[in-house]
Homo-oligomer: A and B are copies of this chain.
Amino acid sequence: MSAQRVGILHPGDMGVSIALSALDTGCEVYWASEGRRPQSQQRAAEAGLRDAGTVARLCELCPVLVSVCPPEFAWDVARRVIATGYKGAFADINALAPEEKIAMAREMIAHGIRYADGGIIGLPSRTPGETTVFLSGPAADETAVCFAKGAIGARVMGPEPGRASALKILFAAYNKGMIALQTELYAAAQRYGVFDELQGQFVHRGLSLEKIVLQITRAAPKAWRWEPEMHQIATALEKVGMPGDFHQGAAEIYRRLAGMKDCSKLTLEQVLAELQRNSPPSE
Protein backbone atom coordinates (compact mmCIF):
# COMPACT_ATOMS: atom_id res chain seq x y z
CA MET A 1 0.00 0.00 0.00
CA SER A 2 1.41 3.40 -0.95
CA ALA A 3 1.57 6.36 1.45
CA GLN A 4 -1.37 8.74 1.73
CA ARG A 5 -0.79 11.82 -0.42
CA VAL A 6 -1.68 15.21 1.08
CA GLY A 7 -1.56 18.55 -0.75
CA ILE A 8 -0.90 21.82 1.12
CA LEU A 9 -2.16 25.13 -0.28
CA HIS A 10 0.07 27.06 0.55
CA PRO A 11 3.06 26.26 2.74
CA GLY A 12 3.87 29.44 4.73
CA ASP A 13 5.14 29.17 8.33
CA MET A 14 1.95 27.49 9.56
CA GLY A 15 1.54 25.48 6.35
CA VAL A 16 5.04 24.03 6.70
CA SER A 17 4.35 23.18 10.34
CA ILE A 18 1.19 21.33 9.26
CA ALA A 19 3.07 19.65 6.39
CA LEU A 20 5.79 18.39 8.76
CA SER A 21 3.09 16.88 10.97
CA ALA A 22 1.72 14.96 7.95
CA LEU A 23 5.24 13.88 6.93
CA ASP A 24 5.87 12.60 10.49
CA THR A 25 2.63 10.62 10.20
CA GLY A 26 4.02 8.91 7.06
CA CYS A 27 2.19 10.87 4.36
CA GLU A 28 3.71 12.11 1.11
CA VAL A 29 3.18 15.87 1.13
CA TYR A 30 2.86 17.94 -2.02
CA TRP A 31 2.59 21.60 -2.83
CA ALA A 32 2.29 23.65 -6.05
CA SER A 33 5.10 26.08 -6.85
CA GLU A 34 3.20 27.78 -9.69
CA GLY A 35 3.14 31.55 -9.03
CA ARG A 36 4.73 31.32 -5.57
CA ARG A 37 7.75 33.37 -4.47
CA PRO A 38 11.33 31.92 -4.55
CA GLN A 39 11.32 32.24 -0.74
CA SER A 40 8.35 29.82 -0.57
CA GLN A 41 10.12 27.41 -2.93
CA GLN A 42 13.16 27.26 -0.68
CA ARG A 43 11.05 26.79 2.46
CA ALA A 44 9.02 23.97 0.86
CA ALA A 45 12.13 22.22 -0.46
CA GLU A 46 13.86 22.43 2.94
CA ALA A 47 10.78 20.93 4.63
CA GLY A 48 10.88 17.94 2.24
CA LEU A 49 7.69 18.76 0.31
CA ARG A 50 7.28 17.47 -3.25
CA ASP A 51 6.43 20.00 -5.93
CA ALA A 52 3.37 19.13 -8.02
CA GLY A 53 4.01 22.24 -10.12
CA THR A 54 0.44 23.42 -10.71
CA VAL A 55 -2.70 23.45 -8.56
CA ALA A 56 -4.41 21.33 -11.25
CA ARG A 57 -1.72 18.63 -10.96
CA LEU A 58 -1.82 18.86 -7.13
CA CYS A 59 -5.57 18.12 -7.30
CA GLU A 60 -4.94 15.09 -9.54
CA LEU A 61 -2.26 13.68 -7.23
CA CYS A 62 -3.76 14.24 -3.75
CA PRO A 63 -7.01 12.77 -2.37
CA VAL A 64 -6.67 15.11 0.65
CA LEU A 65 -6.04 18.84 0.32
CA VAL A 66 -5.47 21.28 3.17
CA SER A 67 -5.94 25.01 2.59
CA VAL A 68 -3.86 27.14 4.98
CA CYS A 69 -3.40 30.72 3.80
CA PRO A 70 -4.19 34.30 4.82
CA PRO A 71 -7.99 34.28 5.44
CA GLU A 72 -8.64 36.86 2.72
CA PHE A 73 -7.41 34.34 0.10
CA ALA A 74 -9.33 31.32 1.47
CA TRP A 75 -12.23 31.64 -0.97
CA ASP A 76 -9.88 32.07 -3.96
CA VAL A 77 -8.04 28.89 -3.02
CA ALA A 78 -11.32 26.99 -2.58
CA ARG A 79 -12.66 28.16 -5.96
CA ARG A 80 -9.42 27.35 -7.79
CA VAL A 81 -9.71 23.80 -6.44
CA ILE A 82 -13.37 23.53 -7.49
CA ALA A 83 -12.40 24.79 -10.97
CA THR A 84 -10.04 21.82 -11.50
CA GLY A 85 -12.95 19.36 -11.14
CA TYR A 86 -11.38 17.92 -7.92
CA LYS A 87 -13.50 15.27 -6.14
CA GLY A 88 -11.43 14.44 -3.03
CA ALA A 89 -11.37 15.77 0.52
CA PHE A 90 -10.75 19.47 1.17
CA ALA A 91 -10.00 20.90 4.61
CA ASP A 92 -10.08 24.68 4.99
CA ILE A 93 -8.24 25.42 8.24
CA ASN A 94 -8.16 29.19 7.82
CA ALA A 95 -9.48 31.74 10.32
CA LEU A 96 -12.87 32.45 8.76
CA ALA A 97 -16.14 32.91 10.64
CA PRO A 98 -18.25 29.74 11.11
CA GLU A 99 -20.95 31.10 8.79
CA GLU A 100 -18.41 31.44 5.98
CA LYS A 101 -17.19 27.89 6.51
CA ILE A 102 -20.76 26.63 6.34
CA ALA A 103 -21.30 28.52 3.07
CA MET A 104 -18.02 27.12 1.72
CA ALA A 105 -19.03 23.60 2.75
CA ARG A 106 -22.30 23.99 0.83
CA GLU A 107 -20.48 25.12 -2.32
CA MET A 108 -17.84 22.37 -2.10
CA ILE A 109 -20.36 19.61 -1.44
CA ALA A 110 -22.45 20.82 -4.40
CA HIS A 111 -19.33 20.20 -6.53
CA GLY A 112 -18.80 16.68 -5.20
CA ILE A 113 -15.95 17.60 -2.80
CA ARG A 114 -15.89 16.21 0.75
CA TYR A 115 -15.39 19.19 3.07
CA ALA A 116 -13.83 19.72 6.48
CA ASP A 117 -14.00 23.00 8.40
CA GLY A 118 -10.83 23.47 10.42
CA GLY A 119 -9.49 25.86 13.03
CA ILE A 120 -5.93 25.99 14.34
CA ILE A 121 -5.39 26.89 17.99
CA GLY A 122 -1.73 27.69 18.67
CA LEU A 123 1.31 28.87 16.76
CA PRO A 124 3.47 27.00 14.20
CA SER A 125 5.19 24.43 16.39
CA ARG A 126 7.32 21.27 16.43
CA THR A 127 6.44 20.48 20.07
CA PRO A 128 3.60 17.96 20.54
CA GLY A 129 0.59 19.27 22.53
CA GLU A 130 1.18 22.96 21.85
CA THR A 131 -0.92 23.39 18.73
CA THR A 132 -4.04 21.55 17.56
CA VAL A 133 -6.08 21.57 14.36
CA PHE A 134 -9.77 21.14 15.20
CA LEU A 135 -11.82 19.66 12.36
CA SER A 136 -15.56 19.32 11.80
CA GLY A 137 -17.46 18.28 8.69
CA PRO A 138 -17.91 15.24 6.42
CA ALA A 139 -14.15 15.01 5.65
CA ALA A 140 -12.95 15.62 9.23
CA ASP A 141 -11.99 11.99 9.96
CA GLU A 142 -10.08 11.33 6.75
CA THR A 143 -8.18 14.62 7.15
CA ALA A 144 -7.39 13.99 10.83
CA VAL A 145 -5.69 10.62 10.17
CA CYS A 146 -3.07 12.43 8.06
CA PHE A 147 -1.84 14.19 11.22
CA ALA A 148 -2.24 11.40 13.77
CA LYS A 149 1.48 11.03 14.59
CA GLY A 150 2.77 14.59 14.10
CA ALA A 151 3.55 17.40 16.54
CA ILE A 152 0.45 19.31 15.43
CA GLY A 153 -2.36 16.92 16.24
CA ALA A 154 -5.89 16.96 14.84
CA ARG A 155 -9.09 16.66 16.88
CA VAL A 156 -12.39 15.77 15.22
CA MET A 157 -15.48 17.68 16.42
CA GLY A 158 -18.14 15.78 14.49
CA PRO A 159 -19.66 15.97 11.01
CA GLU A 160 -21.06 19.55 11.08
CA PRO A 161 -18.93 22.24 9.43
CA GLY A 162 -18.75 25.45 11.48
CA ARG A 163 -18.07 23.98 14.91
CA ALA A 164 -14.28 23.85 14.52
CA SER A 165 -14.02 27.44 13.36
CA ALA A 166 -16.49 28.57 16.06
CA LEU A 167 -14.16 27.12 18.70
CA LYS A 168 -11.13 28.72 17.06
CA ILE A 169 -12.76 32.11 16.78
CA LEU A 170 -14.09 32.10 20.36
CA PHE A 171 -10.72 31.15 21.79
CA ALA A 172 -9.04 33.87 19.68
CA ALA A 173 -11.76 36.25 20.91
CA TYR A 174 -10.64 35.53 24.47
CA ASN A 175 -6.89 35.46 23.92
CA LYS A 176 -6.42 38.30 21.45
CA GLY A 177 -9.26 40.33 23.01
CA MET A 178 -7.56 40.11 26.42
CA ILE A 179 -4.20 41.20 25.04
CA ALA A 180 -5.82 44.18 23.32
CA LEU A 181 -7.60 45.12 26.56
CA GLN A 182 -4.39 44.95 28.58
CA THR A 183 -2.53 47.00 25.96
CA GLU A 184 -5.27 49.63 25.99
CA LEU A 185 -5.34 49.86 29.78
CA TYR A 186 -1.55 50.22 30.00
CA ALA A 187 -1.70 53.05 27.45
CA ALA A 188 -4.60 54.74 29.29
CA ALA A 189 -2.70 54.36 32.59
CA GLN A 190 0.25 56.21 31.04
CA ARG A 191 -2.05 59.05 30.02
CA TYR A 192 -3.60 59.21 33.52
CA GLY A 193 -0.17 58.97 35.18
CA VAL A 194 -0.98 55.77 37.12
CA PHE A 195 1.02 53.16 35.18
CA ASP A 196 3.09 51.88 38.14
CA GLU A 197 0.05 51.75 40.40
CA LEU A 198 -1.96 49.75 37.84
CA GLN A 199 0.92 47.29 37.49
CA GLY A 200 0.97 47.07 41.29
CA GLN A 201 -2.71 46.08 41.29
CA PHE A 202 -2.11 43.44 38.60
CA VAL A 203 0.67 41.91 40.71
CA HIS A 204 -1.48 42.12 43.86
CA ARG A 205 -4.23 40.16 42.03
CA GLY A 206 -1.84 37.41 40.94
CA LEU A 207 -1.15 38.39 37.33
CA SER A 208 2.32 37.96 35.88
CA LEU A 209 3.72 41.23 34.55
CA GLU A 210 6.30 39.28 32.54
CA LYS A 211 3.54 37.34 30.79
CA ILE A 212 1.56 40.50 30.01
CA VAL A 213 4.67 42.15 28.52
CA LEU A 214 5.49 39.05 26.45
CA GLN A 215 1.92 38.84 25.14
CA ILE A 216 1.83 42.52 24.17
CA THR A 217 5.28 42.62 22.54
CA ARG A 218 4.62 39.43 20.59
CA ALA A 219 1.18 40.63 19.47
CA ALA A 220 2.32 43.99 18.05
CA PRO A 221 4.21 42.56 15.02
CA LYS A 222 1.07 40.55 14.12
CA ALA A 223 -1.37 43.38 14.80
CA TRP A 224 -1.76 44.08 11.04
CA ARG A 225 -3.37 40.65 10.56
CA TRP A 226 -5.16 40.53 13.94
CA GLU A 227 -7.14 43.68 13.06
CA PRO A 228 -9.27 41.97 10.34
CA GLU A 229 -9.53 38.86 12.53
CA MET A 230 -11.06 40.98 15.32
CA HIS A 231 -13.66 42.35 12.88
CA GLN A 232 -14.50 38.76 11.86
CA ILE A 233 -14.90 37.80 15.52
CA ALA A 234 -17.18 40.79 16.13
CA THR A 235 -19.36 39.67 13.22
CA ALA A 236 -19.44 36.06 14.44
CA LEU A 237 -20.53 37.19 17.92
CA GLU A 238 -23.22 39.48 16.54
CA LYS A 239 -24.58 36.58 14.46
CA VAL A 240 -25.48 34.80 17.71
CA GLY A 241 -26.92 37.91 19.34
CA MET A 242 -23.86 38.90 21.39
CA PRO A 243 -22.34 42.42 21.31
CA GLY A 244 -19.48 42.87 18.83
CA ASP A 245 -18.18 45.96 20.62
CA PHE A 246 -15.35 44.28 22.53
CA HIS A 247 -13.68 43.11 19.36
CA GLN A 248 -14.35 46.32 17.46
CA GLY A 249 -12.33 47.91 20.27
CA ALA A 250 -9.65 45.22 19.93
CA ALA A 251 -9.55 45.81 16.16
CA GLU A 252 -8.97 49.52 16.79
CA ILE A 253 -6.03 48.79 19.14
CA TYR A 254 -4.44 46.46 16.58
CA ARG A 255 -5.11 48.94 13.77
CA ARG A 256 -3.04 51.54 15.65
CA LEU A 257 -0.19 49.01 16.01
CA ALA A 258 -0.31 47.76 12.40
CA GLY A 259 2.81 49.78 11.50
CA MET A 260 4.90 47.43 13.69
CA LYS A 261 4.40 44.62 11.12
CA ASP A 262 7.14 42.03 11.46
CA CYS A 263 9.26 44.17 13.84
CA SER A 264 11.32 41.92 16.08
CA LYS A 265 12.51 42.29 19.68
CA LEU A 266 10.03 45.01 20.58
CA THR A 267 9.89 46.40 24.11
CA LEU A 268 6.69 47.30 25.96
CA GLU A 269 7.75 50.96 25.88
CA GLN A 270 8.00 50.87 22.08
CA VAL A 271 4.57 49.28 21.65
CA LEU A 272 2.86 51.73 24.00
CA ALA A 273 4.64 54.68 22.34
CA GLU A 274 3.35 53.50 18.95
CA LEU A 275 -0.17 53.18 20.34
CA GLN A 276 -0.02 56.68 21.89
CA ARG A 277 1.42 58.12 18.66
CA ASN A 278 -1.56 56.78 16.68
CA SER A 279 -4.21 57.80 19.21
CA PRO A 280 -6.08 61.09 19.21
CA PRO A 281 -4.87 63.60 21.83
CA SER A 282 -6.60 63.81 25.22
CA GLU A 283 -9.71 65.99 25.27
Contacts and interface: CB of A to CB of B under 8 A. Distances in A.
Interface of A: 98, 121, 134, 157, 160, 162-163, 166-167, 170-171, 173-175, 177-178, 180-182, 184-185, 187-189, 191-194, 197-198, 201-202, 205, 236-246, 248-250, 252-253, 276, 279-283
Given A177-B181, A181-B178, A163 B194 contact: yes
A198 B137 CA distance: 18
A250 B247 CA distance: 11
The copy count of this chain in the complex is 2
Most buried by B among A167, A178, A205, A244: A167
A192 B162 contact: yes
Contact of A198 (B167, B187, B189, B239): B167
Nearest to A275: B242
Contacts of A180: 246
A272 to B, nearest CB: 11
A194 B168 CA distance: 10
A32 B279 CA distance: 46
Contacts of A188: 170, 173, 236-237, 240, 242
26 contacts: A121-B201, A162-B192, A166-B193, A166-B194, A170-B188, A173-B181, A173-B185, A175-B205, A177-B181, A178-B181, A181-B181, A184-B242, A188-B236, A188-B240, A192-B240, A239-B283, A241-B280, A241-B282, A242-B279, A243-B249, A245-B246, A245-B248, A245-B249, A245-B252, A246-B250, A248-B249
A170 B191 CA distance: 11
A243 B234 CA distance: 15
A191 B249 contact: no
A157 B249 CA distance: 30
Contact of A174 (B177, B185, B236, B279): B185
Nearest to A276: B241
A242 B187 contact: yes
Contact of A191 (B173, B192, B241, B281): B241
Contacts of A160: 193
